[in-house]
Amino acid sequence: MAKAAWCTVAPMSGKENAPINITLPAHTGRLVRNTTVTVTNKNGTKPSKAITINQAGAAVTTTMDATKPDVPKTGGTVVINGTSNSSKLSWRFGILIDGQYVPLMGFIRDVIGDGYG
């Protein structure tokens, strides 16, 4: 029975109207994956039937190691590490004001000036 290694089929043989159980583990990849399970007669004669199985990819996830970092009153630098399962994810820092996203640097420049003049 041709199939991808991550696909489990049980039982591998049967008679008449016996069900076939096709089991797939959780898919953490971003893209859809598929495999084909082909069922044939034991003696190899026709009829045979191909069953194509598609498994959806995982949604984009993002994790950060800090969501509310503390900075002492004397100032300092905060480093926040993040990971994502998407190589195409882009991000930017900003704040929400009345439901509108404002880029953080633009906000600071508009409120306190750019410091150059």
Confidence of residue 116 (pLDDT cuts 50, 70, 90): very low
Domain ranges of the chain: 8-55, 62-112
**What mean pLDDT comes out for the span 5-23?**
87
Contact 28, 58 (CB under 8 A): yes
Mean pLDDT of 26-55: 86
Do the beta carbons of residue 49 and residue 38 sit within 8 Å?
Answer: yes
Partnered with residue 38 across adjacent β-strands are 50
